[in-house]
Amino acid sequence: MSRYWSELVRQLEPYVPGEQPKIDGLIKLNTNESPYPPSPKVHDVLSGDAIDRLRLYPDPNSSRLKQTIADYYRLKPENTFVGNGSDEVLAFAFMAFFKQNKPLLFPDITYSFYPVYCQLFGIEAQRLPLTDDLRIELDQYSTENGGIIFPNPNAPTGRALPLEDIEALLKRNTDSVVLVDEAYVDFGAESAAQLVDRYPNLLVTQTLSKSRSLAGLRLGFALGAPELIDALDRVKNSFNSYPVDRLAEAAAVVALEDDAYFQQCRDKIIATREWTNEQLTALGFRVLPSAANFLFARPPEGVDAAELAQQLREARILVRYFNKPRIEGFLRITIGNDEEMNRLIETLGALIK
Ligand SMILES: *Cc1c(COP(=O)(O)O)cnc(C)c1O
């Protein structure tokens, strides 16, 4: 704290990302990164010419990348927006759509960046409780609001909503923007991207951080009606004309084009997730059904989740523990490769006995 700080900065409670420790030989299952490298095509576009061209500013509209995303989802470039990670795209959306004099609705247990953005931008937050089995109940989202946001699948529970529920919400809630944060959609949920043409208040965000193994690149995007995309552009062009650098655009284009590689990695992660789920269940964990690249699991009776996370850390395995009401009994475990998950299960088996 310093006397030079603004009142706003004094009040902020910033988001705390999962640890990125610099310890060798660590099994890192705490921030939902992919255990597999990005598409090999990324190597080819990040050398030689690409480096020489770094003296030039990038395309402020990222036209090639927008066209690639539009082709992928059978939409138009006017339906797409790209930014420096989906966290940035979300920030722009909060400014563009949710800064209203009505509250923003979101689940009580969800991605913890949402309340942080509400504080930063002066948006009233109204949290709606998940059911006892930690599901989002969209029927509850029927009060007056200045917007609605939720991840599908939700984080950190991993539970997915069926597309019919989201469409029913869009039919009821036509006076404000509904933002579906699809950071994990590729691992088992149905994307709302196909609804963009029919619902002018639907905004879908996605990221290359998880299912495309490019968390370090910082590339996220949004899909929506052209009027919504225009609003995001107005915010972006009032903030930073070049949020996507040349290397990020080039790598993102080839990563999205390499669909075969993407599917192969995704399928492996899903298979490993199902195996891990069975193993954890056999050890007495209660595991929520997951459509994401992580599992949300409650250790067996008599085992404290926080302590178990600490013991795993001592065994050089990092998982995520949230010291928050309702979920303080759970661990969130990112799906690594088979060898890493084997080590996790062996270590847990030894710790629990
Ligand atoms: C990881 C994550 C993001 C942010 O992804 P980036 O593109 O890396 O900024 C957004 N929403 C949810 C729910 C996430 O888990």
Centre of ligand 1 from the C-alpha of residue 316, in Å: 25
Atom of ligand 1 nearest to the CA of 111: 13
Of 3.40.630.30, 2.40.128.20, 1.10.3080.10, 3.90.1150.10, the CATH number of 7-37+260-352 is 3.90.1150.10
pLDDT at 169 over 90: yes
Residue in 111, 185, 218, 294 to alter for ligand 1 test, most ligand atoms within 8 A of Cβ: 111
Which residues are CB-neighbours of 68 under 8 A, at least 6 positions away?
252, 253, 256, 257
Centre of ligand 1 from the C-alpha of residue 351, in Å: 31
The whole-number pLDDT of residue 18 equals: 81
Among protein residues, the one with the nearest Cα to ligand 1's atom 1 is 183
Tell me yes or no: is domain 55-258 CATH 3.30.565.10: no
pLDDT at 1 over 90: no
- For ligand 1, residues with CB inside 6 Å are 85-87, 111, 151, 155, 181, 183, 207, 209, 215, 220
Whole-model pTM over 0.95? yes
Residue in 16, 81, 87 to alter for ligand 1 test, most ligand atoms within 8 A of Cβ: 87
- What share of the chain in percent tops pLDDT 90? 95
Domain boundaries, the chain: 7-37+260-352, 55-258
Centre of ligand 1 from the C-alpha of residue 183, in Å: 5
The whole-number pLDDT of residue 153 equals: 98
pLDDT at 228 over 90: yes
pLDDT band (50, 70, 90) for residue 23: confident
Which residues are CB-neighbours of 39 under 8 A, at least 6 positions away?
212, 213, 254, 255, 258, 261, 262
The whole-number pLDDT of residue 142 equals: 95
Atom of ligand 1 nearest to the CA of 87: 9
Mean pLDDT of the chain: 96
Centre of ligand 1 from the C-alpha of residue 89, in Å: 10
Atom of ligand 1 nearest to the CA of 32: 1
Indicate the DSSP class of residue 194: G
pLDDT at 316 over 90: yes
Give, in order, the Cα–Cα distances in Å from 351 to each of 280, 303, 311, 326, 329: 13, 10, 8, 24, 17
Among protein residues, the one with the nearest Cα to ligand 1's atom 2 is 183
Q: Span 103-112, mean pLDDT?
A: 97
The whole-number pLDDT of residue 353 equals: 82
The whole-number pLDDT of residue 282 equals: 98
pLDDT at 47 over 90: no
pLDDT at 318 over 90: yes
The DSSP secondary structure of 91-137, one letter per residue, reads: HHHIIIII-SSSPEEEESSS-THHHHHHHHHT--EEEEPPPTTS---
Per-residue pLDDT tens for 65-77? 999 999 999 999 9
Centre of ligand 1 from the C-alpha of residue 222, in Å: 12
pLDDT at 16 over 90: no
